Amino acid sequence: MSRILIVEDEPKSVRLLSLVLEDKGHTVAQAANLEQARRLLGGELFDLMITDVRLPDGSGLDLLEQAHENQPGLPVIVVTAYGNVTDAVRAMRLGALEYLQKPFELEATAIVVDKALEQDKIRAEHTYLLDQIMEGEHQVQIVGQSAAMTQVRDLVTRVASTRSNVFILGESGTGKEVVAKVIHAASARRLQPLIRVNCPAIPSQLFESELFGHIKGAFTGAYESRKGKFELAGEGTLFLDEISEIPLDLQAKLLQVIEARSFTPVGGTSEIPMKARLVAATNRDIKELVGQGRFRDDLFYRLNVFPISIPPLRSRREDIPDLAEHLLAHLQKEFGLKKRPILSETIDVLLRYDWPGNVRELRNVLERAIVLSADGPIAPVHLPEELLTLGSGHSAHDFHGHVDQFKRRLLIDALQHTGWKKKEAAARLGLSQRAFSHYVKRYDLDRDRPEDA
Ligand X SMILES: Nc1ncnc2c1ncn2[C@@H]1O[C@H](COP(=O)(O)OP(=O)(O)OP(=O)(O)O)[C@@H](O)[C@H]1O
144 binds, among ligand X, Mg ion, none (CB under 5 to 8 A by kind): ligand X
Closer Cβ to ligand X, 34 or 199, answer by number: 199
Among the listed residues 283, 346, 373, 405, the single contact to ligand X using CB under 6 A:
283
CB hemisphere CA count around 96 (13 angstroms) = 26
CB 201, min distance to Mg ion, A: 12
Decide: is 172 part of the binding site for ligand X (CB under 6 A). Answer: yes
Decide: is 47 part of the binding site for Mg ion (CB under 5 A). Answer: no
Q: Which stretch binds ligand X (CB under 6 A): 99-107, 123-131, 173-181, 272-280?
A: 173-181
Helix (H) or strand (E) holding 323: helix 320-335
CB 174, min distance to ligand X, A: 5
Residue of 276, 250, 218, 197 lying closest to 44 (CA atoms) = 218
Residue of 4, 44, 41 lying closest to 24 (CA atoms) = 4
Among the listed residues 75, 144, 265, 312, the single contact to ligand X using CB under 6 A:
144
Closer Cβ to ligand X, 180 or 426, answer by number: 180
Residue of 335, 125, 313 lying closest to 232 (CA atoms) = 125
Among the listed residues 80, 174, 192, 237, the single contact to ligand X using CB under 6 A:
174
- What is the torsional sign of CA 185, 186, 189, 191? positive
- Cα–Cα distances (Å) from 378 to 208, 341, 346, 372, 373, in that order, read 48, 6, 7, 9, 6
Q: Which stretch binds Mg ion (CB under 5 A): 93-101, 176-184, 200-208, 378-386?
A: 176-184
Task: Tell me which residue has its CB nearest to ligand X.
Answer: 175
* d(C-alpha 198, C-alpha 185), whole Å: 19
Q: Which stretch binds ligand X (CB under 6 A): 56-64, 206-214, 288-296, 357-365?
A: 357-365
- The 303-332 contact track toward ligand X, x by CB under 6 A, reads -----------------------x------
- The answer to whether 416 and 382 are in contact (CB under 8 A) is no
CB 170, min distance to ligand X, A: 5
- The answer to whether 352 and 335 are in contact (CB under 8 A) is no
- The 178-217 contact track toward ligand X, x by CB under 6 A, reads x---------------------------------------
178 binds, among Mg ion, ligand X, none (CB under 5 to 8 A by kind): ligand X
Phi, psi (rounded to 5 degrees) for 279 = -125, 120
CB 184, min distance to ligand X, A: 13
Phi, psi (rounded to 5 degrees) for 338 = -70, 150
Among the listed residues 177, 231, 318, 354, the single contact to Mg ion using CB under 5 A:
177
Closer Cβ to Mg ion, 153 or 176, answer by number: 176
Decide: is 171 part of the binding site for Mg ion (CB under 5 A). Answer: no
Decide: is 236 part of the binding site for ligand X (CB under 6 A). Answer: no
Q: What is the DSSP string of 350-395?
A: HHHS--TTHHHHHHHHHHHHHHHTTTS-B-GGGS-HHHHT--GGGG
Among the listed residues 359, 369, 411, 414, the single contact to ligand X using CB under 6 A:
359
- The answer to whether 265 and 274 are in contact (CB under 8 A) is no
Q: What is the dihedral of CA 110, 113, 119, 120, to 10 degrees?
A: -140
Decide: is 360 part of the binding site for ligand X (CB under 6 A). Answer: yes
Task: Say which DSSP state 282 is in.
Answer: E
CB 395, min distance to ligand X, A: 21
* CB neighbour list of residue 28: distance below 8 Å, 6 or more residues apart: 4, 5, 6, 17, 18, 21, 22
CB 243, min distance to ligand X, A: 12
Closer Cβ to ligand X, 355 or 439, answer by number: 355
* d(C-alpha 441, C-alpha 431), whole Å: 15
* d(C-alpha 422, C-alpha 446), whole Å: 11
Closer Cβ to Mg ion, 165 or 358, answer by number: 358
Among the listed residues 90, 102, 176, 277, the single contact to ligand X using CB under 6 A:
176
Closer Cβ to ligand X, 328 or 414, answer by number: 328
Q: What is the DSSP string of 92-105?
A: HHTT-SEEEEESP-
Longest dimension (CA), the chain: 98
Decide: is 175 part of the binding site for ligand X (CB under 6 A). Answer: yes
Among the listed residues 32, 61, 112, 143, the single contact to ligand X using CB under 6 A:
143
CB 304, min distance to ligand X, A: 17
Angle of helix 344-352 relative to helix 399-417, nearest 10 degrees, comes to 160
236 binds, among Mg ion, ligand X, none (CB under 5 to 8 A by kind): none
Closer Cβ to ligand X, 62 or 245, answer by number: 245
Point out which residues bind ligand X (CB under 6 A). Answer: 142-144, 170, 172-178, 283, 326, 359-360, 363
Point out which residues bind Mg ion (CB under 5 A). Answer: 176-177
